Structure 1
Amino acid sequence: MQDVAGEKAFSWRQRALAYIAELQSQLDGYDDGSAPARGAQRHLDAAREAAAGRASLRGAWSGLAVDRTWANINKVEVALLKLLPEAELPWWGSDVLARALQHLGPQDPRRTKLEEHLRGQDGKLSPQDRTLAVITLQAANIAAQQEKVRLRSFRNTILISTFVLIAVAAALLVVGAIHPHAINLCFDDPKAGPACPIGLTPTAWDVAIVELIGLSAASLVGAIGLRHIHGTSAPYTLPIVLALLKLPAGAVSAVIGLMLIQARFVPGLSDLDSRAQILGWAAIFGAAQQLITRLVDEQGQNVLSNVRDASRGVGRAAEATNPD
């Protein structure tokens, strides 16, 4: 028995393993020793192995375990639909139609045709429509996989952007520590005299304290913005990644903002004349990153809204695919 203390802590693994167990019980009841049944069992074993396997950073980045698990689960679902005896077939009509409504567009001919047939049969699937149901279920499953791929691609893009901003913030920090005058965040007001983030002359800690203030302001604004973020059952923690992006963005924007004031690129702002003003503007610029990352948040919510599953409900899924 594998050590599952950390491996199965991911909720998607738990859900997948529970669903695999359900599919196994169904397959056991329909297993007639035929080639389709044996093939379904191989796919089920592969899905179980992928869901219970050891997690890794490479797997989390590529989504290999997620894709392998659900691709094999989908194959088993299609195989079960083919193996079902005719007496039990009618009750699968609503399940296949729900999957089609969730993942296929309203103009998809397979979805449209299946709807028409089930509407005329009181929602029950007839043996004559088994092939249509199989084709529709396969198409819906492929669409569902593509939704998860798009979500993972967007999440990876945000992660790369976050790492780049972290590298930029670290570079500014190192340069400021080694050469305090290279990134001079001090101001010299003719009346009040010189003012720096720390003391009256440039120090190795000026950039560090400004980045800390900017990061703190960004985290505060990000915490307030969490009220607009909805959770997701998808296997990728996009809301958390979006929140992390704000931290290095706040640190960098605080330094860049003070440099713009010093260069007089900000109309209406003169030289700052006290340490409190410098740190106050650092906090303002750190919080101002929300103006840019808010657009990323909106795009993230759009991507999440396009990942549909049974928990979303058919009504909401239909609205997403047909906004008219």
Structure 2
Amino acid sequence: MSGRKPKVLEDVAGRNRSSWRQRCASSIAELQSQLDRIDKNSGGLPSGDKAIADMARKHLGAAREAVEESRGLGAVWMGSAVDRAWPNIHKAEEAVLRLSPEDELCWWGATVLAKAEQHLGESDPRRALLAEHLENNDHRLHKDFKDLAVRTLQAANECADAERAKVRTFRNFLLASVLALATLAMLAFVWGLVSPETIAEKMCFYPNSIRTCPAGSGTAYVPSANDVLLVEFVGMCAAALAGAISLRNIQGTSTPYMVPMALMLLRLPAGALSAFIGILLIRGGFIPGLTNLDSGTQILAWAAFFGIAQESITRLIDQQGNRVLENVRSSMRGFDAEPEAGRAEK
């Protein structure tokens, strides 16, 4: 059978989509089916409710467009698709709650309360009022408290969107740092290529008046950009090894921003630059008792040491990354730690 597939089928049958797009698409399909069911079961919504339903469908349409939006570097960097999809899905979710009939409304209370506890914290007054009402009403949401539930859900959704935006900002900071450090490491190599006596020679030592460089030694050896490249490469490899070991402390994430991967990438140029600067420090006599290295192997060994040493800095960034990720809460997360929104009010 040819022709365009129904909207719900399009939402759930998408191919070649990233995980966040799949999650958005399934949420869109679920909300669309709920809107259609409410409209059908009610035998026609009143004019006021019909306006809410029409606006909800517009929100779902905007979310669909965001899910299918092009995936260029600019869109990935700005996060425009994510920031467009989830807020529109949340608005449609709030509309479904507003339109839910009384016989279905009673079970919305636990859902809204759970989301409020995840994103708003125990000190939020809306969450507290909703929790008190549910406790006194056999955990059922009364129609007189529907507006409170909608406003609580709206606040929780806004916090969830803000949490996601913070992750994107942190990811962008990491990628900008990776680019900056990689550029500096590349500039050092290019400088060594253009003017070996200025940069590459600084990677060499002179034990017993014999020139010893990372890539070669001897009175006839001429320093080159290969010496800089070799030092940076060894430092980068050492940093990668240290980063692989530190993976045990990095948690995964359901956000679309791949922060753990960015944290790993940061180590590579950081290790290269650490090795380069570390050899310069030894050459300059900055480290007491260590002024001359006897062989190219020793130089590379120290380059590896400095490449690993960058872990003391990047580990602090890992900790900040974990804190950012821990504040992004979903239905699969527990309530062991209070959300940032709740902590900020204390």
TM-score of the superposition, structure 2-length normalised? 0.88
After TM superposition, give the deviation of residue 262 of structure 1 in Å.
Answer: 0.3
**Residues of 2 paired with 1:241 and 1:7: CA distance?**
26
Matched, 1:190 2:208: yes
Which one of the candidate residues 7, 10, 13 is aligned to 2:18? 10
Matched, 1:263 2:271: no
In structure 2, what is the equivalent of residue 199 of structure 1? Answer: 216
1:240-251 equivalent positions in 2, closer than 5 A: 240-251=261-272
| Deviates further, 168-177 or 115-124 | 115-124
**Residues of 2 paired with 1:306 and 1:101: CA distance?**
12
In structure 1, what is the equivalent of residue 62 of structure 2? Answer: 46
Q: CA RMSD in A?
A: 2.1
- For the 8 Å contact 2:181–2:270, the answer to whether it is kept is yes
In structure 1, what is the equivalent of residue 7 of structure 2? Answer: none
**Residues of 2 paired with 1:276 and 1:6: CA distance?**
54
Amino acid at match of 1:316: D
Matched, 1:275 2:296: yes
**Residues of 2 paired with 1:186 and 1:317: CA distance?**
52
Amino acid at match of 1:26: Q
Q: How many equivalent residue pairs?
A: 321
After TM superposition, give the deviation of residue 276 of structure 1 in Å.
Answer: 0.8
Which one of the candidate residues 91, 99, 116 is aligned to 1:75? 91
Amino acid at match of 1:19: S
Deviation readout 1:117-162 (Å, 9 max, x if unpaired) = 1111121101111010011001001111110111111111111111
SS in 2 for 1:268: coil
Change beyond 3 A, Cα 1:51–1:94: same
- For the 8 Å contact 1:151–1:303, the answer to whether it is kept is yes
- For the 8 Å contact 2:239–2:310, the answer to whether it is kept is yes
Amino acid at match of 1:138: Q
**Residues of 2 paired with 1:269 and 1:23: CA distance?**
68
Amino acid at match of 2:28: I
Change beyond 3 A, Cα 1:251–1:273: same
1:118-197 equivalent positions in 2, closer than 5 A: 118-183=134-199, 184-190=202-208, 193-197=210-214
Uncovered stretches (5+) of structure 1, i.e. residues with no partner? none
- For the 8 Å contact 1:7–1:53, the answer to whether it is kept is no
Deviation readout 1:14-36 (Å, 9 max, x if unpaired) = 01101111111111011245111
- For the 8 Å contact 2:327–2:339, the answer to whether it is kept is no
1:51-130 equivalent positions in 2, closer than 5 A: 51-130=67-146
After TM superposition, give the deviation of residue 190 of structure 1 in Å.
Answer: 2.7
SS in 2 for 1:87: helix
After TM superposition, give the deviation of residue 227 of structure 1 in Å.
Answer: 1.2
Amino acid at match of 1:206: D
Amino acid at match of 2:256: P
Amino acid at match of 2:277: I
Amino acid at match of 1:114: L
**Residues of 1 paired with 2:35 and 2:92: CA distance?**
9
Which one of the candidate residues 29, 41, 44 is aligned to 2:37? 29
